[in-house]
């Protein structure tokens, strides 16, 4: 069993909730959204964040250990924009790696929201829609043809939702945080994030196509997708899989929210998105289920023809170091690759510096032991 049940983390451990960064919503809106509902976008992260690892301590709170693992029997019913009845957490799947149910549900709900926004504005020509602040001011520009079919609109909604999920990883790497002074870089580009996000977008699209009500369809689809990906059935099985990559993908040697808790990161977030399978599990002939990011509305027609995401970067972004051309501080989703490559270079430099420091410490310890032995 987890060290702390999820309801305790959500409702009674205020400091831990503060660390987990995301306000939990006990009530959700139905996916059939009115114009008033669409006027304000959902939070970028709707459900409680999950930290990769198990029994990881929190800085300054030695009595707390974070283990965000769940199991099939605890999934509960999906609720648009979240509910205390949902059983979120991380589950290991033999063909899908570690699946973060909170990420999956969030992106499905964002896909449903954006689909409703697209349909509402299909006859309005070009619209400019504010999406709030995250690493700077975010704006969505839509150019939707009057004759766009629902299937294409769903794919478009999914693609925009996925781009926004990638932006969340980028923004948190460069210092964006929901709570001041609590860095969120520790979770940026975690190995389960991109795959869970994209899986949620496909689930959201399928739920929108379903004859069932959205929430009922999502509840069934989550169970079905986890079954198709050969998800393990028990809490202990996921915990064992997590332990197999201890000190390979994550470590307990550092405390949250240190960025050093995560050892392995996934920055290859565009097609194809391949799940990280536990090395021992991968040797048992489990073939990874690879996902493609939606790119085309129809043959030869790019989804990017119908939207643009723009970001007015805040001062935490070292713009002059990242971009060789003069972009100012206004960028679009087409600049993501440059930002991610810069983040990769920063991460590689920090890793090399940490290894050098570790080697020097080991060498100094050896010298001290040798000197004591001589005396």
Least confident of 1-5, 95-99, 356-360: 1-5
Most trustworthy range by pLDDT among 24-28, 57-61, 109-113, 344-348? 109-113
Give the pLDDT confidence score for residue 364 in this predicted structure: 52
Asked whether residue 352 carries a pLDDT value surpassing 80, the answer given is: no
Largest CA distance in the chain: 86
Determine, yes or no, domain membership for 364: no
The confidence score (pLDDT) of residue 309 equals: 98
- For residue 293, being part of any structural domain is answered with yes
d(CA 98, CA 68): 12
Residue 319 falls within a domain, yes or no? Answer: no
Euclidean distance between CA atoms 44 and 39, whole angstroms: 15
Q: What three-state secondary structure class fits 253? A: coil
Is residue 49 very low, low, confident or very high in pLDDT (cuts 50, 70, 90)?
Answer: confident
Residue 334 φ then ψ, to 5°: -75, -10
Q: Looking at the 3D structure of the chain, how many domains does it have?
A: 1
Q: Is residue 338 part of a domain?
A: no
Cα(297)–Cα(328) distance, rounded to whole angstroms?
A: 31
Task: Look at the block and give the residue holding tokens 């790497």.
Answer: 173
Instruction: Please write the tens of the pLDDT for every residue from 160-199.
Output: 999 999 999 999 999 998 776 677 888 899 999 999 999 9
pLDDT tens column, 256-271: 888 889 999 999 999 8
Residue 335 lies in a domain: no
Element (H, E) at 60: none
Joined together, the tokens standing for residue 230 give: 């050969």
CA 167 to chain centre: 10
Angle between helices 193-209 and 214-228 (to 10 degrees): 130
d(Cα 234, Cα 222) in Å, to the nearest integer? Answer: 16
User: What's the CA dihedral at 228, 77, 103, 106 to 10 degrees?
Assistant: 120
Average pLDDT over residues 88-108: 97
Q: Which is more confident, 39 or 312?
A: 312
pLDDT band (50, 70, 90) for residue 15: very low
**Strand 90-93 to 136-143 pairing:** unpaired
Domain membership flag for residue 351: no
- Could you tell me if residue 227 is inside a domain? yes
| Burial tier of 359 (Cβ tally within 10 Å: 0-12, 13-18, 19+) | exposed
Tens-place pLDDT, residues 360-371? 554 455 455 445
Q: Which of 19-23, 45-49, 286-290 has the highest mean pLDDT?
A: 286-290
Q: 256 CB contacts (<8 Å, ≥6 apart)?
A: 19, 51, 56, 57, 58, 59, 66, 186
- Phi/psi for 97 (5° steps) reads 70, -150
pLDDT band of residue 281 (cuts 50, 70, 90) is low
Strand partners, 127: 142
Distance, in Å, from the CA atom of 150 to the CA atom of 142, rounded to the nearest integer, reads 15
Mean pLDDT for 45-50 is 83
Both tokens of 260, joined, read: 């050093």
Its domain, for residue 263, covers 6-314
Question: 6, 87 in Cβ contact below 8 A?
Answer: yes
Q: Say how far apart CA 105 and CA 88 lie, in whole Å.
A: 9
Length of the chain: 375
Band of residue 282 on the pLDDT scale cut at 50, 70, 90: low
Backbone dihedral region of 125: left (phi > 0), alpha (psi from -120 to 50 degrees) or beta? Answer: left
Instruction: Give tens-digit pLDDT for 210-254.
Output: 999 999 999 999 999 999 999 999 999 999 999 999 999 999 999
**CA 152, 153, 159, 163 torsion-angle sign:** positive
SS3 311: strand
Q: What is the pLDDT of residue 40?
A: 87
Say which DSSP state 187 is in.
G
Put residue 28 in one of left, alpha, beta given phi > 0 → left and psi -120 to 50 → alpha.
beta
Long-range contacts of 326-333 (CB under 8 A, 24+ apart): 329/136, 332/308, 333/163, 333/166, 333/167, 333/304, 333/308, 333/309
- For the segment 295-320, the average pLDDT, to the nearest whole number, is 95
Q: Would you state the pLDDT for residue 355? A: 63
- Ramachandran sector of residue 97 (left: φ over 0; alpha: ψ -120 to 50; beta: rest): left
Give first-to-last CA distance, the chain, whole Å: 50
**Is 143 inside a domain boundary?**
yes
Q: Give pLDDT, residue 361.
A: 53
pLDDT of residue 125: 87
Around Cβ 82, how many Cβ atoms within 10 Å?
25
> Which run of H or of E encompasses 28?
none
Tell me the average pLDDT of the chain: 86
């Amino acid at each position: 069993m987890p060290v702390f049940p999820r309801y305790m983390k959500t409702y009674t451990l205020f400091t831990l909730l503060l660390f987990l960064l995301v306000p939990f919503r006990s009530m959700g809106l139905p996916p059939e959204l009115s114009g008033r509902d669409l006027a304000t976008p959902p939070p970028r992260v709707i459900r409680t964040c999950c930290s990769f690892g198990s029994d990881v301590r929190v800085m300054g709170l030695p009595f707390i250990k974070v283990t965000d693992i769940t199991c099939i029997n605890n999934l509960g019913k999906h609720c648009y924009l979240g509910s205390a009845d949902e059983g979120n957490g991380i589950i290991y799947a033999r063909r899908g790696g570690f699946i973060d149910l909170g990420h999956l549900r969030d992106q499905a709900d964002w896909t449903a929201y954006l689909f409703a926004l697209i349909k509402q504005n299909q006859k309005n020509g070009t619209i400019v829609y504010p999406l709030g602040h995250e690493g700077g001011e975010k704006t969505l520009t839509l150019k939707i043809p009057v004759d766009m079919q629902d299937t294409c609109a769903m794919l478009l909604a999914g693609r925009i939702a996925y781009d926004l999920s990638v932006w969340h990883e980028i923004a948190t790497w460069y210092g964006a945080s929901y709570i001041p002074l609590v860095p969120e870089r520790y979770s940026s580009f975690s190995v389960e994030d991109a795959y869970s996000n994209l899986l949620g977008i496909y689930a959201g699209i399928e739920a929108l196509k379903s004859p069932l009500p959205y929430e009922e369809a999502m509840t069934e689809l989550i169970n079905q997708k986890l079954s198709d990906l050969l998800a393990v059935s028990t809490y202990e099985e996921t915990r064992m899989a997590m332990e197999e990559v201890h000190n390979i993908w994550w470590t307990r040697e550092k405390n949250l929210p240190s960025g050093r808790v995560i050892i392995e990161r996934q920055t290859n977030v565009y097609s194809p998105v391949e799940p990280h399978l536990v090395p021992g599990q991968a040797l048992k002939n489990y073939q990874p289920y690879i996902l493609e990011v939606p790119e085309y509305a129809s043959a030869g027609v790019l989804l990017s023809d119908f939207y643009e995401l723009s970001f007015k970067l805040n001062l935490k972004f070292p713009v002059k170091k990242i971009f060789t051309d003069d972009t100012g501080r206004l960028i679009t989703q087409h600049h993501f690759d440059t930002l991610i490559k810069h983040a990769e270079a920063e991460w590689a430099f920090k890793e090399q510096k940490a290894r050098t420091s570790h080697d020097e410490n080991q060498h100094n310890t050896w010298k001290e032991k040798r000197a004591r032995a001589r005396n």
